[in-house]
């Protein structure tokens, strides 16, 4: 049975992180777990600081938007691990804007609605689900709930996303990847490592920001004369539109500011008129602007059980025929699985460490085999418990893991035992402080080949 690498089994998307800014007041919503030295404190821990005093955003400013029932959301402070709340469960009359430990409280649920008076562009109203009133900020920087039926000053919020989909940007013609090297310079690379991973972030107007995954504040930018470079400031020059190529093979990435397409000749990056670019001619050494967007994990996942928090692992097959799969509490090479698409649209799950295929026999026993057959075909279905079901394509049984970590196949999709999480296995990389430490030590760029062998 033939298998092939699937274009995308599951998108490699980060948890939603964003900034919440009130444009009319020029302030940013900021969480604080202790007494604040800047901004206005609202007792329960929420602080609003102006953009001038929080010019370089920190984790205090970052929020995660988490879906809740009924189309509502909760706003999770990543710094404090608490939730934005418009009241107190012990005092129904309270409307203080604060932080709560209870994500399930009605006070912590909000409705996000597009603004009708600001032309979109990421501008929204944040309405408290319980109070049917809007989160607002007065001219002194204090938070309150507005009962106004109109959109007034201080009642609209800009959602500026910091997270997105993680992808390799790979030239179809020249087989090189876009890279942001350890010094922050953009160039083509033949590798598939952490420096070559980029984050595609929605800008709110149909365009995207493209930032380095390793250098999180370095954004892809260009000039009118065709130069391509990284900048630390978001702006119109850092917005790009991504459209399918005319031949259907890959995408074209065009600067929104200059109307020029990102391209490479294999040795350098540039932008050019999309009309003049070579269209996927494999024999040409001219610049090409056709790119493949490849998930940063290359369809390699850790598979964890929602009921036991254990990971499915493989062991070397020391004899002919199937051997048992195992569960562990670790995330190592033995717990990595490559999802591959089979000819009939089903999936195979292949251990990256041992090249063994996860399967199930007619008795419900979970097996590992050296070659994929009908027993090794699976389909992936969404679970209502926040993960996926892994279903045997041949037997229609469902992969299950009890609280003790025992794997089996069952006939029903009843609870968390049949729910699994797919965690992307990302390439190795270095954090910003680690990079700064190396560069500050006076090492030449060439020395990174030894200091960072994954480049």
Q: What is the mean pLDDT of residues 184-200?
A: 95
pLDDT of residue 449: 27
Please say if the pLDDT value at position 258 is more than 50: yes
Residue 69 CA from chain centroid, whole number: 22
pLDDT of residue 14: 83
Portion of the chain with pLDDT greater than 90, in percent: 43
Q: What is the mean pLDDT of residues 322-333?
A: 80
**DSSP letter string, 400-429:** EE-TT--EEEES---SGGG-EEEEE-PPP-
282 neighbors 242 (Cβ within 8 angstroms): no
Q: 10 Å Cβ neighbour count for 6?
A: 17
Q: What is the mean pLDDT of residues 432-455?
A: 32
**DSSP letter string, 295-340:** ETTTTEEEEEETTT--EEE-----SSS-EE-EEES--SGGGEEEEE
Minimum mean pLDDT range among 111-120, 246-255, 312-321: 312-321
pLDDT of residue 441: 32
Q: 10 Å Cβ neighbour count for 77?
A: 24
Our CA dihedral for 22, 26, 27, 28, rounded to 10 degrees, sits at 60
Q: How far apart are CA 108 and CA 129, in angstroms?
A: 8
Q: What is the mean pLDDT of residues 14-32?
A: 87
Torsion sign (Cα): 355, 359, 361, 364:
positive
Of 34 and 117, more confident:
117
307 neighbors 326 (Cβ within 8 angstroms): no
- Nearest partner of 185 among 235, 240, 225, 231, judged by Cα: 231
Residues recorded for the chain? 455
Q: How far apart are CA 251 and CA 229, in angstroms?
A: 20
Residue 364's DSSP bridge partners are none
Q: 10 Å Cβ neighbour count for 149?
A: 7
Each residue's pLDDT tens digit, 329-346: 888 889 999 998 887 779
Please say if the pLDDT value at position 40 is more than 50: no
pLDDT of residue 407: 93
Please say if the pLDDT value at position 167 is more than 80: yes
Q: How far apart are CA 84 and CA 100, in angstroms?
A: 6
User: Which of left, alpha, beta for 215 (phi over 0: left; psi -120 to 50: alpha)?
Assistant: beta
Please say if the pLDDT value at position 37 is more than 90: no
**DSSP letter string, 261-273:** EEEE-SS-EEEE-
Per DSSP, the chain holds a count of helices (H) and strands (E) of: 2, 39
């Amino acid at each position: 049975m033939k298998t092939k690498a699937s274009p995308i089994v599951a998108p490699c998307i980060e948890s939603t992180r964003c900034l919440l800014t009130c444009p009319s007041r020029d302030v940013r919503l900021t969480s604080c777990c202790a007494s604040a030295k800047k901004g206005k404190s609202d007792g329960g821990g929420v602080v609003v600081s102006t953009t001038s005093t929080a010019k370089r955003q920190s984790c205090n400013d970052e929020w995660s938007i988490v879906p809740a029932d009924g189309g509502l959301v909760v706003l999770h402070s990543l710094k404090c691990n608490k939730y934005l709340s418009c009241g107190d469960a012990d005092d129904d009359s309270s409307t203080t804007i604060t932080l709560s430990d209870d994500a399930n409280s009605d006070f912590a649920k909000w409705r996000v609605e597009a603004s009708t008076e600001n032309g979109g562009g990421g501008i929204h109203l944040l309405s408290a689900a319980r109070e049917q009133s809007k989160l607002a900020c007065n001219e002194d920087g204090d938070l309150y709930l507005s009962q106004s039926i109109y959109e007034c000053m201080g009642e609209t919020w800009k959602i500026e996303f910091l997270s997105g989909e993680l992808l390799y940007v790979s030239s179809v013609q020249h087989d090189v990847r876009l890279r942001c090297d350890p010094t922050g310079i953009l160039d083509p690379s033949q590798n598939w490592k952490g420096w070559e991973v980029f984050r595609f972030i929605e800008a709110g107007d149909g365009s995207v920001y493209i930032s380095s995954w390793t250098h999180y504040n370095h954004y892809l930018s260009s000039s009118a004369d065709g130069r391509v470079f990284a900048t630390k400031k978001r702006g119109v020059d850092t917005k790009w539109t991504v459209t399918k190529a005319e031949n259907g093979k890959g995408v074209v990435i065009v600067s929104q500011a200059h109307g020029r397409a990102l391209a490479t000749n294999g040795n350098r990056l540039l932008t050019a008129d999309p009309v003049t670019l070579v269209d996927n001619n494999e024999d040409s050494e001219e610049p090409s602007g056709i790119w493949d967007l490849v998930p940063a994990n290359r369809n390699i996942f850790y598979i964890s059980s929602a009921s036991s928090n254990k990971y499915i692992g493989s062991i070397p097959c020391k004899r002919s025929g199937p051997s048992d799969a195992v569960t562990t509490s670790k995330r190592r090479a033995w717990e990595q699985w490559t999802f591959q698409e089979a000819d009939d649209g089903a999936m195979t799950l292949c251990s990256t460490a041992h090249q063994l295929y996860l399967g199930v026999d007619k008795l419900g026993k979970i097996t590992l085999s050296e070659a994929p057959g009908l027993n090794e075909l699976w389909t992936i279905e969404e679970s209502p418990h926040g993960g996926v079901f892994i279903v045997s394509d041949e037997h229609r049984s469902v992969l299950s893991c009890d609280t003790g970590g025992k794997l089996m196949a069952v006939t029903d999709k009843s609870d968390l035992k049949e729910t699994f999480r797919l965690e992307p296995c990302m390439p190795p990389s270095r954090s910003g402080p680690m990079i700064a430490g190396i560069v500050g030590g006076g090492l030449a760029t060439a020395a990174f080949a030894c200091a960072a062998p994954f480049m």
